Amino acid sequence: MAEALTQEQINNVLLGIKIPPQPQILVDLQIEQIMPDPDLNSIAALISRDVGLAGTILKVVNSPFYGLSNKITSVNQAVSLIGLDSVINIINGVSIKSEMSDETIVHMNRFWDTANDIAMIATNVAKQVGFQKPDLAYLLGLFHNSGVPLLMNRFDNYLAVLEQSYSEGSDRIIDVENTLLNTNHAVVGYYIAKSWNLPKVLCDAIAEHHNCQRHFLGPQQTESEIKTLLAILKLAEHICGSFRILGNQEVDYEWQLIGDEVLTHLGLGEYDLEQLQANAEEMGISSKNYAF
C-alpha cells in the first residue's frame, strides 16, 4: 500500500467487517510449498481429500484457458502439469468464495462468474505481453474485488454506493466509497489478501487497483511489476465489462481515463484490444453479455 496505516486506522477501516480465515488446506499447502523439495504426491493427496476442490482443479485445468489436447483426469496429473503455484492460486480463488457463505453473498453468482472471467482474461493478456508471472495475474483477477461481498454484507446500501462510485467519472471509485462509508473495497481486499499470506506485490496491487491514475498519469511514473499487474487487470476488467456488472454503467470512465496509457505500457494497440475482445467472446466472455 502507498502508506502504512496505524492499528487504530486499520480497526476503523475494518469496523464491523469480519475477514474470513484462511482455509486449513491453504495453510497446509503453503507449508509444503516452502519445503526445499515439495512432494507433489503429498500435495495432490491433500487436495484430493476435498472432492469439491479436486473437481474444481480438474475443471480449470481442462478449460479452454489451458487449451490441452488431452483431458486431465487426476489431481496428480494436474499438479504435475500446471505446477504448485498455479494450483495454490486456483484454490485461493475457490476458497475466497466458499469462505463467504452468507445468504446475501451466495446470491452474487454473477459477481463470482465475472471474477473468474477476469482472472482468465488477465492470464491470457499476461501470456500475450510476456509477463513472467501469469499466475499472479490470475490470482489478482480473482481477488481484486474480494472486498465487495464483505462490504455488501456489512452495508445494506453498498450496491447503490458502488453504482454511484462507478458513475462519478471525475472521481476515483474508492473516493465515493470513502466519503459515504469511511472505507472501500480495495483496502478491505488488501487486508483479506494480507491475512491469507498472499504475495506482497499482489496485496499492494489489490490496494491500488482503483488508484491507477498515479501509476499511469502521475508525474512520477515508474516501471514496476505492480504497474504491469494493474495494467493487465484494467484491460481484463474492461474486456469483461466490470463497469456494467458492478457499476451498472454504459461507459467505462476509468478506462476512458487511463486506457491509452494501459495499452501503451503493455505494448498493445487498438487492434490488439479488438483481438482480445474477439478471443474473449469465443470463450463466452463479453461485456455485451450484461445488458445495461
CA distance 195 to 101: 18
The per-residue pLDDT for 2 is: 43
CA distance 139 to 118: 10
Domain ranges of the chain: 16-84, 100-289
The per-residue pLDDT for 291 is: 45
Q: Which pLDDT tens digit goes with each residue over 130-156? A: 998 888 898 899 889 988 888 888 888
Within 8 A by CB and 6+ apart from 229, the residues are 131, 136, 137, 140, 201, 202, 205
* Cβ–Cβ < 8 Å for 244, 290: yes
User: pTM of the entire structure?
Assistant: 0.79
**Integer Rg of the chain from CA:** 19
The helix (run of H) or strand (run of E) holding residue 89 is: helix 84-98
- Whose cell is 470463450? That residue is 283
3 state DSSP class of 146: coil
CA distance 24 to 42: 15
Distances (CA, A) of 162 to 79, 148, 157, 193: 38, 9, 9, 21
The helix (run of H) or strand (run of E) holding residue 154 is: helix 147-154
The per-residue pLDDT for 1 is: 42
Torsion, Cα 19 24 29 32, to 10 degrees, reads 120
- CATH code of 100-289, in short, is 1.10.3210.10
Beta strands in 136-183 (DSSP E): none
**Which triple of cell numbers denotes residue 133?**
508471472
**Which triple of cell numbers denotes residue 116?**
473468474
Distances (CA, A) of 131 to 83, 227, 260: 17, 12, 19
Closest CA to 210 of 260, 145, 263: 145
Closest CA to 46 of 29, 31, 60: 29
Query: Mean pLDDT per segment of 10 residues, for the chain of length 292 residues?
Result: 51 61 74 79 84 80 74 86 77 67 57 82 92 87 87 87 85 89 91 84 93 82 85 96 87 92 95 92 70 42
* Cβ–Cβ < 8 Å for 209, 186: yes
Three-state SS string over 231-280 comes to: HHHHHHHHHHCHHHHCCCCCCCHHHHHHHHHHHHHHCCCHHHHHHHHHHH
